[in-house]
Amino acid sequence: MRIPIYCRSCLDEGIQTNSIGLKFAHHGVLENGIYESICSHGHSNTTILDAAKFELLFDIGMMAICDGYYRDAVSSFASSLERFYELYINSTLFTKSKSSDKTAELVWKKISNQSERQLGAFILLYTKENKAIPDLLKNDGNKANSTKFRNNVIHKGYIPSLEEALIFGETIHKLLSSYIKTIEKDNEKLRQFVDYYKSILPKNPPTKKCMNSQCKSFSMLRQVGGSRASDFEHIKLQFSNFGNRDDNYKKLRINGSFKNENR
Ligand SMILES: [Zn+2]
């Protein structure tokens, strides 16, 4: 995936740098979310991608589908779900920890390298906070909505089809949306979650004029139809407009789904 870069100075001066307006470059994804570049008019730019890891990884999964890397898409979607668990655990821990953030940090360190421990922590904290058991990936069956499918792809080198990658992405989207919509039901819990989320976003360098952007799939800073979790059809449309160099983009736009593709 590459991040579209716009020039703030060209925008301010009304300069059109290409046929569609002000986008002048694409940048490879960076861990720190801060993208430095210079446009063709010599302006220095800093673009900040305001995104938590789960949001960025879901976008990377969608772009991998568009580019035909279905195995990478499944891997990114699976990581997106795990990073949401991390965000939820930490936002709950750091919000509820009355003693000190040090305690929360030490607790997180105990589980930070073991995904099964994180899943257990998420289930317990989510159930306690919301008085409801969270929906999870199914354990049984070979279908593309199961942990077995995910493990086959990630650990056994299985190459999924386009349809399987899309089913898995939609399944992960459904889980993430259900968690976000549950958080949105309680204004105080939502405020705490978003406050923690904002605290982990990349910080604008104070001396630089920055452009800020968000991910296309999920952003806790943006609401579509009254929720921060937009529906999957809407997300597919966001990616269908990303370019026209590949047939998969067109399929997203024309059919709204990939169901007609044969392997
Ligand atoms: Zn410029």
Q: What pLDDT is stored for residue 217 in this prediction? A: 95
Mean pLDDT of the chain: 85
CA of 204 to the centre of ligand 1 (A): 19
pTM for the structure as a whole: 0.87
CA of 19 to the centre of ligand 1 (A): 14
pLDDT-derived band of residue 205, with 50, 70 and 90 as boundaries? confident
Strand order in the sheet with 44-49: 34-38, 44-49, 210-213
CA of 256 to the centre of ligand 1 (A): 35
CA of 65 to the centre of ligand 1 (A): 32
CA of 33 to the centre of ligand 1 (A): 20
CA of 57 to the centre of ligand 1 (A): 29
Q: d(Cα 77, Cα 58) in Å, to the nearest integer?
A: 5
How far CA 74 is from CA of 91, 117, 198, in Å, comes to 26, 22, 27
Top-ranked range on mean pLDDT: pick from 73-82, 131-140, 250-259: 73-82
Residues with Cβ–ion distance below 5 A, ligand 1: 7, 9-10, 39, 41, 43
CA of 242 to the centre of ligand 1 (A): 21
- Give me the torsion for CA of 64, 211, 217, 63, rounded to 10°: -10
CA of 211 to the centre of ligand 1 (A): 12
Domain edges within the chain: 2-52+202-255, 70-199
Q: Which pair of structure tokens corresponds to residue 82?
A: 């795990």
Q: What are residue 40's phi and psi, to 5 degrees?
A: -65, -15
Q: Which pair of structure tokens corresponds to residue 142?
A: 């070979």
Contacts of 197 (CB under 8 A, 6+ apart): 52, 87, 91, 220
Q: Which pair of structure tokens corresponds to residue 59?
A: 């976008």
Query: Could you report the per-residue pLDDT of 137-196, keeping only the tens digit for each?
Result: 998 777 899 999 999 999 999 999 999 999 999 999 999 999 999 999 999 999 999 999
